């Protein structure tokens, strides 16, 4: 049985998606990445909840990736992927990498992503699976290393930014309503 789409089409869509994610992470402009999804796409995020529709996904990714230190996650390395041509699925492992501090260490944590292709270069669904405790540990180590390399004034400023980010994330999760307004 042949799949609905060719492997070549699926590869091209994934290449477009991964380039758009790289652009979003490195510039803060997530619009190309958001446009990799159909207008009625579903995004399943195991910590922040589920998001329905491109507008909801756009709001979530922009709100998530803007504050410090999350904005310092500047690369997504897709170290392997597999394509199920029959289903139109792409399953990949992503290394979520923080900005290089120059200390000789790579600060990153992995997740698994399942993309469901819809045709025309767009995906109808994404699901990210990861261990939040491992992400928190890695981010905490990165923040501590960043603060150690900062002036006292910069340490104070960054600590204030971190407190704002943590308070906002706690408020979202305590409310039971995701950043995009969806129930958690």
Tokens of 160: 């204030």
The answer, yes or no, to whether residue 181 has pLDDT greater than 80, is no
Measured between alpha carbons, how far is 4 from 92 in angstroms, rounded to an integer?
20
How confident is the model at residue 175, as a pLDDT?
Answer: 52
Q: How far is CA 171 from CA 22, 124, 135, in A?
A: 29, 29, 19
pLDDT classification of 156: cutoffs 50, 70, 90: confident
In the chain the domains, ranked by start, together with CATH numbers, are 7-175 (3.10.450.50)
- What is the sign, positive or negative, of the torsion defined by CA atoms of 147, 136, 17, 124? negative
Under 8 Å between Cβ of 94 and 77:
yes
Residue 122: closest CA among 36, 32, 31:
36
- Confidence grade of residue 170 (pLDDT, cut at 50, 70, 90): low
139/99 Cα distance (integer angstroms):
11
**Higher-confidence residue: 173 or 97?**
97
Higher pLDDT, residue 160 or 109: 109
What pLDDT, on the 0 to 100 scale, is given for residue 20? Answer: 98
Burial tier of 39 (Cβ tally within 10 Å: 0-12, 13-18, 19+): exposed
Cα–Cα distances (Å) from 37 to 22, 75, 85, 126, 131, in that order, read: 16, 20, 18, 9, 24
pLDDT at 180 over 50: no
Mean pLDDT of 151-173: 73
How does pLDDT run across 9-66, given as a tens digit for each residue?
Answer: 999 999 999 999 999 999 999 999 999 999 999 999 988 889 999 999 999 999 999 9
Structure tokens belonging to residue 12: 């091209």
Element (H or E) spanning 59, and its range?
Answer: helix 54-65
What is the value of pTM for the model shown?
0.86
């Amino acid at each position: 049985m042949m799949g609905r789409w060719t492997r070549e089409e699926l590869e091209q869509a994934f290449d477009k998606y991964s380039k758009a994610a790289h652009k979003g992470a490195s510039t803060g402009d997530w619009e190309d990445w958001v446009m990799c999804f159909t207008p009625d796409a579903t995004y399943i995020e195991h910590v922040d909840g589920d998001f329905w529709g491109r507008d909801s996904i756009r709001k979530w990714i922009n709100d998530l990736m803007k504050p410090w230190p999350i904005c310092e996650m500047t690369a997504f390395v897709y170290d392997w992927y597999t394509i199920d041509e029959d289903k139109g699925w792409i399953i990949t492992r992503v290394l979520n990498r923080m900005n290089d501090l120059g200390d000789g260490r790579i600060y990153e944590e992995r997740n698994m992503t399942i993309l469901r292709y819809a045709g025309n270069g767009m995906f109808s669904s994404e699901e990210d699976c990861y261990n939040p405790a491992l992400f928190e540990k890695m981010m905490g180590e990165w923040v501590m290393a960043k603060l150690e390399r900062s002036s006292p004034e910069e340490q104070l400023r960054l600590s204030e930014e971190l407190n704002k980010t943590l308070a906002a994330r706690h408020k979202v999760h305590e409310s039971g309503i995701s950043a995009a307004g969806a129930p958690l």
